[in-house]
């Protein structure tokens, strides 16, 4: 049995709403609802009054609920738009920051080039690289000197090696003398020079910054002039074909993950040497056909690729470069690992060059000592690689 009496805590409206809402539960029709309410309120209204009032109340409640739902949806949509606008603001701020950084990097390189250009003009007056020359006798042999990992600016003084700017100049001078000697002994006319990167020590590791005797800008300027003089001296005896790739020590940004491949002190060195030797008609500079980190040499009928080696491994370099370029070379020149290594893979010679700087703290700590050396290679037409000289420098 249901209690149809008004409860103590119920207001008039609450009581009327309870009876009307639960009429079916209580087993009442609208006429009986009117009788219950009239008795409680001491009134004498017909069922239509209560029925219409209840219907109007329920319609009002539905309207209020629908309005509240629409408001919530509008607020949610507005919040989503606010969040998207805030994301766009953050993205724009990041883009502006990266753009400013890019401008700073470009401006820094341009400033270095301006300073170097001024120095080139001074050097051109004091030491002009001009000479009269007579072509040497034609023959079937050509030479190749591989230059890499000079690490100018680094200092070392340990059981296996002593290296500083003074030793650097002595080693380059000795390397030049031996290159001329071997070139004349083999009666070569054309000498190919492959510069495979890391000509400066740079500042990619903290230990390197401690070992450096010169800052990287000075390293770049001085090694570029030494390299220019080295090439010029060789051009007194041979016609020069010059090639160049980037290394990892010569990247401009110390942090590897923030560095772009296009930002390298090696590019500045190459630019300097080109301008310094611009009037020397015996030196031909070759642009890289495939990529700035892969040079292409053609000696007689031999196709040779040159890479620094920091992105390649000796056990996979033949397969990778052949598949990347679609052309199988006769040989691949590598550097970076600071020690002599040669291997043949399916008829392709892998020739790894040494380091001019020699053993330093990092190499000593990981137990990879080696001789400081550079390579001079003789090619003969119809034979290919005839002989290889390891020019030991310490």
* Tens place of pLDDT per residue across the chain (394 aa): 567 788 888 888 888 888 888 888 888 888 888 888 888 888 888 888 888 888 888 888 888 888 777 677 777 777 787 778 788 888 888 888 888 887 887 788 888 888 888 878 888 888 888 766 565 555 799 999 999 999 998 889 999 999 999 999 999 999 999 999 999 999 999 999 999 999 987 544 444 443 444 567 777 889 999 999 999 999 999 999 999 999 885 545 544 444 434 457 788 999 999 999 999 999 999 999 999 999 999 999 999 999 999 999 999 999 999 999 999 999 999 999 988 999 999 999 999 999 998 888 878 888 888 999 999 999 999 999 999 999 999 8
Encoded tokens for 270:
């190459």
CA atoms within 13 A on the CB side of 324: 13
pTM: 0.67
- Of the candidates 318, 344, 313, the residue with the CA atom closest to the CA atom of residue 329: 318
Rounded distance between C-alpha atoms, residue 48 and residue 50, angstroms: 6
Cα separation, 219 vs 230, in Å, equals: 16
Partnered with residue 334 across adjacent β-strands are: 352
List of E strands, 66-121? none
Instruction: Give the chain's domains with CATH numbers.
Output: 1-97 (no CATH), 127-392 (3.60.21.10)
| 68 class by beta-carbon count within 10 Å (0-12 exposed, 13-18 middle, 19+ buried) | exposed
Give the integer Cα–Cα distance in Å for 356 and 38: 112
Give the C-alpha separation, 78 to 57, whole Å.
32
pLDDT of residue 204: 42
Q: What is the DSSP string of 139-169?
A: -SEEEEEEE----BT--EESSS-EESHHHHH
């Amino acid at each position: 049995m249901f209690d149809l009496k008004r409860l103590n805590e119920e207001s008039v409206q609450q009581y009327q709403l309870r009876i009307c809402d639960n009429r079916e539960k209580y087993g009442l029709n609208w006429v009986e609802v009117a009788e219950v309410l009239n008795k409680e309120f001491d009134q004498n209204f017909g069922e239509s009054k209560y029925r219409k009032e209840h219907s109007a109340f329920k319609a009002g409640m539905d309207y209020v609920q629908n309005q509240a739902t629409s408001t919530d949806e509008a607020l949610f949509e507005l919040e989503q738009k606010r969040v998207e606008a805030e994301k766009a603001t953050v993205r724009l701020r990041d883009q502006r920051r990266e753009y400013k950084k890019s401008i700073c990097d470009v401006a820094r390189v341009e400033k270095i080039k301006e300073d170097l250009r001024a120095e080139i003009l001074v050097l051109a007056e004091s030491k002009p690289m001009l000479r009269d020359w007579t072509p040497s006798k034609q023959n079937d042999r050509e030479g190749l000197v591989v230059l890499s990992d000079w690490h100018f600016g680094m200092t070392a003084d340990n059981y296996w090696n002593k290296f500083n700017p003074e030793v650097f100049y002595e080693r380059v001078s000795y390397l030049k003398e031996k290159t001329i000697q071997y070139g004349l002994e083999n009666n070569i006319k054309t000498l190919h020079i492959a510069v495979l990167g890391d000509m400066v020590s740079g500042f990619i590791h903290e230990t390197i910054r401690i070992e450096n005797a010169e800052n990287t800008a000075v390293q770049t300027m001085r090694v570029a002039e030494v390299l220019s003089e080295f090439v010029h001296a060789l051009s007194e005896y041979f016609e020069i074909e010059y090639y160049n790739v980037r290394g990892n020590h010569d990247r401009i940004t110390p942090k590897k993950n923030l560095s772009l491949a296009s930002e390298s002190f090696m590019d500045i060195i190459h630019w300097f040497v080109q301008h310094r030797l611009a009037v020397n008609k015996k030196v031909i500079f070759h642009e890289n056909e495939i990529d700035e980190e892969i040079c292409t040499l053609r000696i007689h009928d031999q196709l040779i690729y040159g890479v620094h080696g920091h992105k390649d491994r000796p056990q996979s370099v033949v397969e990778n470069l052949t598949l990347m370029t679609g052309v199988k070379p006769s040989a691949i020149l590598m550097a970076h690992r600071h020690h002599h290594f040669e291997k043949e893979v399916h008829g392709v010679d892998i020739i790894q060059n040494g380091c001019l700087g020699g053993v330093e703290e990092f190499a000593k700590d990981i137990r990879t000592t080696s001789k400081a050396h550079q390579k001079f290679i003789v090619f003969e037409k119809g034979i290919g690689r005839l002989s290889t000289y390891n020019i030991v420098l310490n």
